Structures are given as structure tokens and as C-alpha cells.
Amino acid sequence: MFEVGFSELCMVALVALLVIGPERLPKVARLAGFWVGKTRNMMASVKAEINAELQAEEMRQLLKEQSGLEELQKMQHDFSNAADTLKASLEQPLLEESATRVKSYEPE
């Protein structure tokens, strides 16, 4: 994120020593470290929440797609049933007619 080399870090430490003074520098350094750690923890927490929300959104999208597939499968099943019913209704009169014709040709 920030490219801070050793020379820049030494320069900041020297300026802090001159501005703050040697007596208060350890307290200020501890306080700065505390706040940096707290900020990092907060950023990690926010990042984890964002990732969790993105995963939840992906799961919602997958469930939505899955429900669409289920609807298509139901429609396919309904069409298959309708085709079977239509086929049976068309075959039944033909079977009855052929049975009648066979009976009429039987010798007595």
C-alpha cells in the first residue's frame, strides 16, 4: 500500500524525536502503534464483512438461477404429461376401430 523505505522511516523518527522530545517519544510511539493496530483490525473486519456480503449475494444469485431451472424442469414434465395424454387420446380410437374391423373379418 505505502512504499516506506528504511531511510524514510529513519527521517520520520528523527523529526519525531526533535519535535516531540525524548521523554514523550516512547508514549507517543506506543499510542501511534495502538491506533495503527486498531485501524488495521477495523479494516480487516470491514473487508471480511464485504466478502461475506458478496458471497451471500452470489449464493442468492445461484439460488435464483436454480429456481429458474426447477421451473423449466416442471414445465418440461408438464409438457411431457400433456404429450402422453394427447398420444393416448389419439391412439385409443384407432385401437378401438382396428379391434372392430378385426372382429368384422372373423369367420363365424
* Residue 48, phi then psi, degrees to nearest 5: -65, -40
79 assigned to some structural domain? yes
Give the total number of structural domains in the chain: 1
In-domain check, residue 78: yes
pLDDT-above-90 percentage for the chain: 38
Note whether residue 1 is domain-resident. Answer: no
- What is the tens place of the pLDDT at every residue in 83-103? 988 888 877 776 677 667 666
Instruction: Domain of residue 79: give its range.
Output: 45-94
Report the mean per-residue pLDDT for the chain. Answer: 86
Q: Is residue 68 part of a domain?
A: yes
Residue 33, in any domain of the structure: no
Assess if residue 26 is contained within a domain: no
Residue 59 within any structural domain of the chain: yes
Model confidence at 1: pLDDT above 60: no
Residue 10 CB burial class (10 angstroms; 0-12, 13-18, ≥19): exposed
Any domain includes 55: yes
pTM: 0.48
